[in-house]
Amino acid sequence: MIQTNRTDRPAMLIALILAQIVCAGFFVWDVVLDSGDVRNVWPIDPHFGIEAVAVIGLIAAVVFETRYLLHLLAHKARLERKVSVAASAFADVIEDHFHTWGLTRSELDIAWFTVKGFSIAEVARLRGSAEGTVKSHLNAIYRKAGVTSRGELLSLLIEDLMGETQDPSDMSAVSGTQAGLSTGHGRDAASQG
Amino acid sequence: MNTFRIWDPLIRLFHWSLVAGFAANAVFTDPEHSLHEWVGYAVVALVAVRLAWGLVGTRYARFASFVPTPKAVTEQITDIATGRRSVHLGHTPLGALMIFNLLFVMLLIGLTGYMMTTNTYWGIEWVEDAHEMLVTWAEISIVLHIAAVLWESWRTGVNLPRAMVSGVKTVPVDAKLVE
């Protein structure tokens, strides 16, 4: 649904531009027709002048909208690229962790499924193995990562997303009081600067 | 450079016959003369043949191969906006819009032209106005069409006018191909 929403908005703009081009075509024809007779032409007939200005305005609007459309689509494409870069960078970070923990091939598989939110039963079905096997692999993963649950495993990975600059002293500030939190950050910023 | 045989002989013959027919009636023939009428009928016949060929013709001639969906049109404009060089082997989505526009307007010009020869509509002002207005619209469209073809040729590095003569598209090797 989000997908159609994202593609529909430029499509509406494109449709509007096409409709305006048709209108501009009609009025250009009208102006050219009127200019054939000298009595219709400004300054004799102000109607002609107004019409000509309207046509120029319409064409300017088409040009402006087209430029805006190009800008919009370029911006959208840039954002989409950034998201995909971020997604693959996040995957790299996770991959890195898995590598550091020294997971075996099957543990690696199961770790990915777990991070992606599959339950033990689902992972067992996907890999065609028994739930007991998955559970023991999962326990090995938790042991190597130094965590005790799926939640902790995810927290460990997500921590990296929020910035690796947070050192333990900063973490202690977060776990302190509200006042401690703000002074903690202030101290941190001061020591960095 | 990779070469692809895209346009069949009938497509090319149709394209350049339509160019000749429209140019003849818009510029050279006398609207009062029967030659104008016969060229007009020939253009309508050409479009009819093209419409049939769009259903049963070769791969890139078929309408099904170039349906200008909003998604496809948006993608092509995104290519233009971001400077991505993707080459459509057949018609591009925007090109397809222009094709349907031109085919449709040619039929309407033929229809209003024919109406002027009938007893019922002869001398009726709105029919004449519509005929002239549609011709102006066709002329504006043709100017846009030629400008767009030159622009796309420059942008994608594929010589499109030559492809419409020889039937073969010569595509730079580094270009991304889109069906």
Structure confidence by residue, pLDDT tens digits, B88-113: 999 999 999 999 999 999 999 999 99
What pTM did the predictor assign?
A: 0.70
Integer Cα distance of B54 and B66 in angstroms:
10
Beta bridge partners of B2: B171
Which residue of B lies nearest to A13 if distances are taken between CA atoms? B74
Position B58 pLDDT exceeds 90: yes
Given a contact cutoff of 8 angstroms between Cβ atoms, the answer to whether B88 and A80 are in contact is: no
Integer Cα distance of A139 and A134 in angstroms:
9
Closest CA to A10 of A18, B26, B137: A18
Mean pLDDT across chain A: 78
* Pair of tokens at residue A33: 């027709």
Binning pLDDT at 50, 70 and 90, where does residue A187 land? Answer: very low
What pLDDT is recorded for position A43?
64
In angstroms, how far apart are the furthest CA atoms of chain A?
95
| Over residues A101-107, mean pLDDT | 89
Closest CA to B118 of B131, B103, B136: B131
Secondary structure element (H or E) that encloses residue B86, with its range: strand B86-88
CB-based burial of residue B83 (10 Å sphere; 0-12 exposed, 13-18 middle, 19+ buried)? Answer: exposed
* Pair of tokens at residue B27: 């510029």
Integer Cα distance of A172 and A5 in angstroms:
43
What pLDDT is recorded for position A178?
43
* Pair of tokens at residue B142: 């043709």
Beta bridge partners of B14: none
| Over residues B146-160, mean pLDDT | 94
Q: Which of A11, A26, A33 sits opposite B70 (nearest CB)?
A: A11
Closest-CA distance of chain B to residue A167, Å: 40
Using DSSP's 3-state secondary structure scheme, residue B91 falls into: coil
Residue B172, preceding peptide bond in cis (omega within 30° of 0): no
Closest CA to A180 of A192, A170, A165, A189: A170
Q: Which of B74, B81, B132 sits opposite A7 (nearest CB)?
A: B74
What pLDDT is recorded for position A192?
42
- Say yes or no for a CB contact (<8 Å) between B97 and A18: yes
Closest CA to A140 of A106, A117, A91, A95: A106
